[in-house]
Amino acid sequence: MSIENQIRAFAGTFILLSLALAHFVSPKWLYFTAFVGANLLQSSFTGFCPLAIILSKLQNKKI
């Protein structure tokens, strides 16, 4: 799976998880949803994505 697809899967999972937590636990989890969305938005303009850096380092590391 490419890094771009991994980022989309990671972001989608975290958004759905935080929405479920906001519904069942506390509405304050929506701040996390907003953080993920803001990070996706800024990375689309700047090309800088911390998760992409982490994933590329993990892929280069021999386990």
In tens, the pLDDT along 25-49 reads 999 999 999 999 999 999 999 999 9
Which band of pLDDT confidence, cut at 50, 70 and 90, is reported for residue 23?
very high
pTM above 0.85, yes or no: no
How high is the pLDDT of residue 31? 97
| Average pLDDT over all residues of the chain | 92
Name residues whose C-beta falls within 8 Å of residue 42's C-beta, 6 or more positions apart in sequence: 48
More confident residue, 63 or 3: 3
Rg (CA), the chain: 13
